[in-house]
Amino acid sequence: MEQNIALTWQLSEIHGWGLVGVHTALCLLDRGRPPLLLEQPLLATLRPENRERVTALLAGYERIGAIAGRVGDRVVVIEGWTLLHALANGFTEGPTSARFRGSRNVGVIAFEDSRFDAATLERARRYDKLVVHSTYNRDLLLEQGLPEVDCAFQGIDPGECPALPPTGRFGDRFVIFSGGKLEFRKGQDIVLAAFRQFHQRHPEALLVTAWHNHWPHTSKTVAESPLTPVPPMIGENGKLRIVEWAMAHGVPPEGFVDMGFLPRHRIAAIMADCHAAVFPNRCEGATNLVAMEAMACGVPVILSANTGHLDLIREDNCLALRNQTPVFDPTGARRGWGESAVDEVIEQLESIYTDSAAARVRAGTGRTFMHGERTWRNFANSFIQAAG
């Protein structure tokens, strides 16, 4: 008999974990199995139609909160429920997971740190099962002798990724998009180095970025790259000074547009004006939501052929960066990470620039793949099955 499911993390539509929670909750509601929320959802971030449905779950959240309040610091055991626990690198729990336990406890993780010392493995074995979002993560865990591991690939919302006509906002420029929170792992330093050279050949090229980071201090890791000796500064408003950082690395002002934090309702309209999207990421524990959304919107996408990206790459649905060299790894934390070659990024940009017809065909194949196989509803169905 299927157990009811409780979620230990906050539902929102502003980051990956939140989207995983939202679409899982919506799917469970459709099945007549409303989940129990152990964190208050960020309702203000949800689209109106999703907000209305998730609001119905607040009563359960408030009831369990009242029960927890009456027992002080003791762990609350919720009998007859499967609890899904959001885990960080090293299989560390948040305070909500430490506070609640179910009859079954399933750990959910997308990790980039591949160090598996005894303490890490002990934490991983506390769960009845583990669910990951890439074959990269799954294989690493199976190698460590953790048999109860399943995989559910994250998705896109077809309603958020329509094929829109170009708006012409950037004129007749050749527009290259790059997105994802700025940090060493995401490879924005590689994008800058490649674009600087590409722009010298094609002055009409324009780099449009959505690199801001809700946790700006983590951007300091980009200084690990030999391509960028200093990270961007954080302004008085708490946001990264992206434009100054790009200019300091040789990108001319006329060749760069910073979109800031890109809200979900604007994604498709921006993508409609882009001719290419570049993701030379060094590691993805899952499959890179921003890259998936670019593919779903019909943009020709360049992807590093490593880690979680490998679950996106199919014949003729993107341009893969196959020249991957190991990333410096003194502690064993970066098994499987890959360093993309700047020259290969430029080569792939040139192929899109010189043969737009072939690029459109490839983009169409990528869009079909995303809308057919990698939707959030497909994810939620497989995720719920895996958790069970």
pLDDT in tens, 217-270: 889 999 999 898 888 998 888 889 999 999 998 999 999 999 988 888 889 999
What is the residue-averaged pLDDT of the chain? 95
pLDDT tier at 91, thresholds 50, 70, 90: very high
Q: How far apart are CA 275 and CA 149, in angstroms?
A: 39
Percentage of the chain beyond pLDDT 90 is 89
**Which pLDDT belongs to residue 216?**
84
> Between the CA of residue 71 and those of 68, 97, 100, 115, 312, what are the distances in Å?
6, 16, 12, 37, 46
Q: What is the pLDDT of residues 293-312, one digit of tens each?
A: 999 999 999 999 999 999 99
Is the Cβ–Cβ distance between 275 and 298 less than 8 Å? no
The predicted model gives 122-146 an average pLDDT of 97
What is residue 75's DSSP assignment?
P
Q: 273-282: buried (b, 16+ CB within 10 Å) or exposed (e) per residue?
A: bbbbbbbbbb
Q: For residue 340, what are the contacts with CB-CB under 8 A and spacing of at least 6?
A: 187, 190, 280, 282, 304, 321, 323, 324
One-letter identity of residue 338? G
Q: What is the pLDDT of residues 31-63, one digit of tens each?
A: 999 999 999 999 999 999 999 999 999 999 999
Assess whether pLDDT exceeds 80 at residue 72.
yes
Considering the segment(s) 162-373 as one domain, its CATH architecture is 3-Layer(aba) Sandwich (3.40)
- Show the tokens assigned to 96: 């909500």
For the chain, the structural domain boundaries read 4-151, 162-373
pTM metric for this prediction: 0.95
**Which pLDDT belongs to residue 77?**
96
Local structure of 48: helix, strand or coil? helix
The predicted model gives 185-195 an average pLDDT of 97
**Which pLDDT belongs to residue 341?**
98
- 10 Å CB burial of residue 3 (0-12, 13-18, 19+) is middle
Strand 4-7 and strand 301-304: pairing? unpaired
Percentage of the chain beyond pLDDT 70 is 100
Q: How far apart are CA 358 and CA 316, in angstroms?
A: 10
Residue with the two structure tokens 């991957």: 324
Assess whether pLDDT exceeds 70 at residue 9.
yes
- The order of strands in the sheet holding 319-321 is 256-258, 205-210, 174-179, 276-279, 301-304, 319-321
> Between the CA of residue 13 and those of 43, 71, 241, what are the distances in Å?
9, 32, 24
pLDDT tier at 365, thresholds 50, 70, 90: very high
The predicted model gives 158-183 an average pLDDT of 95
**Which pLDDT belongs to residue 368?**
98
Q: How far apart are CA 114 and CA 351, in angstroms?
A: 35
Assess whether pLDDT exceeds 70 at residue 316.
yes
Q: For residue 141, what are the contacts with CB-CB under 8 A and spacing of at least 6?
A: 124, 130, 132, 149
Q: How far apart are CA 349 and CA 352, in angstroms?
A: 5
Q: How far apart are CA 336 and CA 284, in angstroms?
A: 10
The predicted model gives 330-335 an average pLDDT of 94
Assess whether pLDDT exceeds 70 at residue 1.
no
The predicted model gives 336-364 an average pLDDT of 98
**Which pLDDT belongs to residue 291?**
98
Considering the segment(s) 4-151 as one domain, its CATH architecture is 3-Layer(aba) Sandwich (3.40)
